[in-house]
Structure 1
Amino acid sequence: MWKSYLSTFLRNKKIGILGFGREGQSTYRLLRSLLPDARIIIFDKSVIPNNPLNIEQDSYCTIYTGPGYLQNINNCAVVVKSPGIPMKELKVIAFDGILTSQSDLFMKCFAGQIIAITGTKGKSTTSSLLSHTLKQAGKKVIFVGNIGIPPFDEIAKIQPDTLIVYEISSHQLECISASPHIAVLLNIFQEHLDHYDSYTDYQNAKFKIGQYQDKKDFFIYNADNDIIAKHISKEIPHGILLPFSEKTAFEKGCYIDKDSIHINYNGQSYIVSSTFERQLKGRHNLVNMAVVMLICKLLDINEADMFKAFACFKVLPHRLEWAGTYNGKIFYNDSIATIPEATIEAIKTFAEVDTLIAGGFDRNIDYDNFARFLSTSCVRNIVFTGDAGLRIYKLMENLNSGKKIYYNRHFDEAVKHAVLLTAENKICLLSPAAASYGTFNNFEERGKRFCDIISGTV
């Protein structure tokens, strides 16, 4: 079915692939296997490394790189955009063909089997936990998307009864014109402001996850998030609405109170104590687990299988990950925290954070509330780094909170300083509230560097 759809849609068209990283190469492999003689043009600002997929031997493929790489894009009837390419780059050259993406094409083929999860924070943990739980319950599952697996790479494994868990980012959502059967919107906060023309554009990309649903689909959303609640009050999705909340118990959906999780659906109420065995720390992760419970109820997953999966699910790297205890000092790596809200949740998770390391690449996020939170928090020492860290440091200075604050421009110096400041039997937490770019390629690289420094391997 999917082969027929893609072949029919793309046959006799000149196809552009915009961006030739992991997902762009995945798109090329699949399209070339389906359409051996199709004219394919690859556009990438960076020089493409030698011999990826032997494309230089493909006589039906043309490559444009470097400055002006988009000049010939209007020669294409269809362009498959990779998620890392900002839409604003296409606006400049006024592309007038069909713009699609791997996410869009995949969604059109398998929407009825897809559970897609998005949100500024929490989507990796929630989608990984859901995939793990469904597998524990004996379901056929594939896990794709922003976790690092392009969906086309797994497409041959899909059968009619396969459940597809799709961790999907705003970048992957912005070109879609089909929505998943179960859509989950965890939260929206300021993020990726360097990628979009405005914060509104980022929000609109997130909301596309449920834009094309019908009345048989499910839309699970965070009713406590002001941005989401405001949007839904103006534009109600077509799917069955299932809100989750820590403040309000809805007739349908999920309510998380202090001691228990309440799931209401189909006229039935299900209540579970929040003391069940789990390795995921923090209130925010309890909410993520409640969302997975709600999905499991929709899919009629056995409770015993669900709780067994929760008990053995391991924390993902760089997400409140215990990094070791050295010289009596306890270290946690939360490098994934690239926005203030994530760092606030990390601090709330632990009874005492003696030293916080924060800062990094500055994407013009509003840090006013974050600085006020830090000024009244339990954290004794705060070491800032990078341009974002400098901005937060100055905000803290103006608040005259009496907190012990420090600034080290370079990351390595900041970590070493934090190690010295931290008292024995206390926690030193890397939770930057800022992106890693400029110094590191990604948050994973930053987290690894932190672990290497505290362990004395560098």
Structure 2
Amino acid sequence: MTPADVPLPPADLRVADLDGRRVGVWGAGREGAAAVRALRRHAPGAEVVVGLSTPPADGAPVVVADAPPALVGGPAIDALGSCDVVIRSPGVPIRGAEAARVRDGGATITSGTALWLAERGSRETVVGITGTKGKSTTASLAHHLLAAAGVRAALAGNIGRPLLDELDPADPPEAWVVELSSYQLADLPQAPTIAVVTNLLRDHLPWHGDEATYHHDKLRILTAGTGPRMAVLPRTDAALVAAAERIAADRLLPVTWTDDPHGLHVADGALRDGPRSLAPIEALPLRGALGARNVAMALQVVRDLGHEVADVAAALRDFRPLPHRQQVVAHDAGGRRWVDDSISTTPEAALFALAAFAPGPVVLLAGGDDREQHHGALASALAGGRVPAGTPGAADLPITVAGLVALPGTGPALVQAVRDADGEASVALREVAPGEPQAVMDEAVAAAAALAPPGATILLSPAAPSHNVFRDFEDRGRRFADAVDRLAGR
């Protein structure tokens, strides 16, 4: 099935339209539970079926409040196919044999995101923010800066409450800021009012199938339905520039560009508006030029909605960066800085982090679940001591790499890539054997401490997802901080 072949749900289908119909809820986690709550409140006459493709690891029955016990496996797929409409959770793939089987049964597959957007219609302002990396931070910044500009805004989606729990708030905000993943966008029938894309890299290939399909699905935020009223895109991302040009050839796509010398951009150590300096980078709450570029995109959203923030640095003084994103968790007696960047699930994200902590010295902890990542550029940076000029936030930055500690999964492949790129093996390399999650992290932290000279940064920026060892990136980050505490005797 090609990307264009995926059937899309009706853009105007609302939860209330499901009253009296047989409705499947595919998935029983946070989003599935929100779908059941929305149905009970807005479509009380709906017959609800909850289904899971695979049983939970512990094999226990799955029960969602106010719904019959969940069906699992083949019976679940058959039952979902007999429904009129199926609301899928974001992690449920829209392609593949199971989705085809549900559709062949006659069901229309939709999502909580699509149902929520239909409820907003054209009456409410929705800022949708996506990107391979930086979407959570940029969404949080936009929400914060809108409040500073006097706009009542609500933060929802991938960050905050599930969208279907925000179907009919008693006091609707003036603007919604919604973080959207590629899973939520893949079958979106209508774009939000303002679409923001932070970057377009390589990720989630097992779910989407290949890189081209991942990009296609991600860019539905620009192409779904009649498209957005305005898009905010960075000029430094060549893939996004090329995609916007292709889209604009077929339809109207009004774009406000950041990273443009005539508008909001980062240069000469400052966030600038054309030639005018708005704030020095060090006055902003995020590290380096990449963090300042996220601020630029968020500020552009405020401007595109007709508002302004007079003093950006002052407005962000009480902004707290999200955890597990270049978060300093400890300083030790040797003056070494321990940094949790567990959100890093791609090699590009690890390059961003290396750029933020250049010139080093740095010991990198990397490795995780194999999602068909390409390690070439990261390995070259580690071996050659320079962050590539094409890395956002970097301008061919020199960096001293004191060592690489390879976590189970992709870590050994990254070690081999560094060896291939560095014939003299000037980077110290250590591999951590598979094991229980905390034992793996304890060994990795101890190995990093042995490699790190005084004043170094020990950086957990894994360049891969966590699921081969850890529950999620948050679990990985927490275990890192715990291991650092134990090492210090705290």
Same fold by TM (over 0.5)? yes
- The question of whether the paired residues in 2 share the 8 Å contact of 1:181 and 1:218 is answered with yes
Whole-angstrom CA distance in 2 between matches of 1:337 and 1:7: 36
Q: Give, in angstroms, the shift of residue 326 of structure 1.
A: 2.2
Amino acid at match of 1:76: C
Distance in 1 between the 2:281 and 2:238 partners? 28
Aligned counterpart in structure 1 of residue 464 of structure 2, from 434, 437, 454: 434
Which of 158, 182, 188 is residue 146 of structure 1 equivalent to?
A: 158
- Cα 1:333–1:213 change in 2 (3 A) is same
What CA deviation, in whole Å up to 9, does each residue of 1:136-182 have, x standing for no partner? Answer: 33322211011142012123326465211101100011121111111
- Could you say which residue in structure 2 is the equivalent of 1:450? 480
Corresponding residue of 2:285: 279
What secondary structure does 2:454 align onto?
Answer: coil
Query: Retained in 1: the 8 A contact 2:271–2:281?
Result: no
Q: What CA distance in whole angstroms lies between the structure 1 residues aligned with 2:37 and 2:205?
A: 32
1:106 aligns with 2:120: no
Alpha carbons of 1:319 and 1:216: their partners in 2 closer, same or farther (altered >3 Å)?
closer
Sequence identity, in percent? 27
- Alignment map for 1:132-171 (pairs within 5 Å): 132-157=144-169, 159=171, 162-171=174-183
Partner AA of 2:21 in structure 1: K
Q: C-alpha separation between the residues in 1 aligned to 2:201 and 2:33?
A: 31
Within the alignment, does 1:200 sit opposite 2:200 as a pair?
A: no
Q: Which of 416, 434, 443 is matched with 1:394 structurally?
A: 416
Q: Which residue does 2:7 correspond to in 1?
A: none
Match of 2:410, SS?
helix
In structure 2, relative to structure 1, the CA distance for the partners of 1:148 and 1:409 (3 Å cut) is farther
Which residue number in structure 2 is paired with residue 18 of structure 1? 26
Counting only pairs closer than 5 Å after superposition, residues 400-411 of structure 1 correspond to structure 2 as 400-401=423-424, 402-410=426-434, 411=440
Q: CA deviation at 1:203?
A: 0.7
1:123 aligns with 2:135: yes
Q: Hey, what's the Cα distance between the residues in 2 that align with 1:231 and 1:382? A: 35
Between 68-77 and 283-292, report the one with greater CA deviation: 68-77
Q: 1:443 to 1:239 in 2, by over 3 A?
A: same
RMSD of aligned alpha carbons: 2.4
Secondary structure of the structure 2 residue equivalent to 1:315: coil
- What amino acid sits opposite 2:267 in the alignment? D
Whether the aligned pair in 2 keeps the contact of 1:282 and 1:346 (CA below 8 Å) is: no
Shift, 1:202, TM fit: 1.0
Deviations 1:328-368 (A, max 9, x none): 22211100111111111111111313311111111111111
Residue identity in the other structure for 2:355 = K
**Alignment CA distance shift 1:68-1:222 (3 Å):** farther
TM-score, length-scaled by structure 2 = 0.84
Deviation for aligned residue 1:198: 1.3
Q: Secondary structure at the match of 2:474?
A: helix
CA contact (8 A) 1:338 1:432 kept: yes
Instruction: Specify the SS of the correspondent of 2:55.
Output: coil
**How big is each residue's C-alpha offset from its partner over 1:259-292, in whole Å with a ceiling of 9 and x where there is no partner?**
444447xxxx975243472221121111000111
Runs of 4+ aligned residues of structure 1 deviating over 4 Å after TM superposition are 47-51, 158-161, 213-216
Q: Assess if the C-alpha contact under 8 Å between 1:278 and 1:311 holds in 2.
A: yes
Q: 1 CA distance for matches of 2:173 and 2:365?
A: 46
Secondary structure of 1:53's match? coil
Q: CA deviation at 1:306?
A: 4.3
Report the CA distance shift for 1:14/1:368 in structure 2 as closer, same or farther (over 3 A). Answer: same
Give the whole-Å Cα distance in 2 for the aligned partners of 1:16 and 1:289.
Answer: 40
DSSP 3-state at the match of 1:105: helix
Q: TM-score of the superposition, structure 1-length normalised?
A: 0.89
Residue matched to 1:69: 76
Structure 2: which 5+ runs fail to align?
1-11, 386-399, 435-439
Contact 2:402/2:451, CA 8 A, preserved across alignment: no
- Cα distance in 2 between the residues matched to 1:123 and 1:223: 16
Distance in 2, matches of 1:8 and 1:155, equals 11
Distance 1:168 1:339 in 2: 18
Q: Specify whether residues 270 and 115 from structure 1 end up closer, same or farther in structure 2 by C-alpha distance, changes over 3 A only.
A: farther
Matched, 1:82 2:96: no
* 1:333 has 2:340 as partner: yes
Gaps in structure 1 of 5+ consecutive residues? 57-61
The alignment of Structure 1 onto Structure 2 pairs a total of residues equal to 442
Deviations 1:282-303 (A, max 9, x none): 2111100011111121233342
- Residues 219-278 of structure 1: CA distance to partner in whole angstroms, max 9, x if unpaired? 111232232222222221534211222xx436xx533333444447xxxx9752434722
